[in-house]
A = this chain, B = another copy of it.
Amino acid sequence: MREGPDIALIGSLLGEPTRANMLMALMNGKALTAGELAREAGVTPQTASSHLAKLEAGGLLRPLKQGRHRYFALADTEVADMLESLTGLAAQKGHMRLRTGPKDPALRHARLCYNHLAGTCGVQMLESMASRGFLELDHEAVALTGKGSLFLQDLGLDVDKLKSANKVLCKTCVDWSVRRYHLGGALGRALWSHIDTFGWARRDGDTRIVMFTKQGQKNFEACFPSVSSV
């Protein structure tokens, strides 16, 4: 009651639906302007401004002034991780915003978790690599094997560079839609970047939803074949 960090402050920031909506809108990794966030959350620009100021003061957002716009992004990956883990807990406890809407299936299929792939596709990617011995998976611990390094190099990724950067390479991330794990960390980022730059898929507007092209889905399946089809 008297010592330690104050979680209530961050909690109250997350507890306001308008602010929660803004934060979730930023989970696709793109920075948005104050106005866009206002529209996203369904409030007037004035109201949004006050909320954004609070989120910034609380250290959850990083503002970026650009001309007459002010862009906001999540402050760092820690914040994104916290949001995703809270999302997971909320899903586990059955706290849903609405009954599964029309967009829900698409969201379950493939979406961005800040900067890496989540949803059924994300889970499939992790499990496919694990089943072929490219990743060593033990509950929620995951590591890249030598065989995996070769596989990624064939794909055209600069594995050495990924390893040398002192960020976490592999990391599991609880997927709230499926109740399993997908791949985060530097490798998760790199793989999404691969999918993006090769045009296998693209973001659906400004949402977190990821839409695969017909050919892209084919390529993805060839690269990360579904385990269950074994």
Separation in Å of the A95 CB from the closest CB of chain B? 5
With a cutoff of 8 Å between Cβ atoms, the chain B residues found around residue A12 in the complex are 11-12, 14-16
Query: Of B79, B92, B170, which one neighbours A89 at CB under 8 angstroms?
Result: B79
Given contacts A14-B15, A78-B92, are A171 and B140 in contact (CB under 8 A)?
yes
Is A214 close to B, CB under 8 A? no
Pairwise interchain contact A95-B58, C-beta atoms closer than 8 A: yes
Give the residue name and chain of the B residue nearest to A76 (CB).
Answer: B92
CA distance A120 to B6 in the complex (A): 20
Mask, A68-94, CB within 8 Å of B = 1, is: 000000000011011101111111111
Chain B residues contacting A230 (CB-CB under 8 Å) are: none
Query: When chains A and B are docked, how far (Å) is the Cα of A171 from the Cα of B138?
Result: 11
| Chain A contact residue count (CB 8 A cutoff) | 66
Interface check A196, CB cutoff 8 A: no
Which B residue's beta carbon lies closest to that of A14? B11
- Give the chain B neighbours of A1 by CB distance below 8 A: 21, 24-25, 40-42
Task: Tell me which residues from 24 to 73 in chain A have a Cβ below 8 Å from any Cβ of chain B.
Answer: 24-25, 40-42, 58-60
Chain B residues lying within 8 Å of A176, measured Cβ to Cβ, are: 4-5
Does A133 reach chain B (CB closer than 8 Å)?
no
A3 at the interface (CB under 8 A from B): yes
Report which A residues bind B (CB closer than 8 A).
1-17, 19-21, 23-25, 40-42, 58-60, 78-79, 81-83, 85-98, 100-101, 103-104, 107, 138-143, 166-171, 176
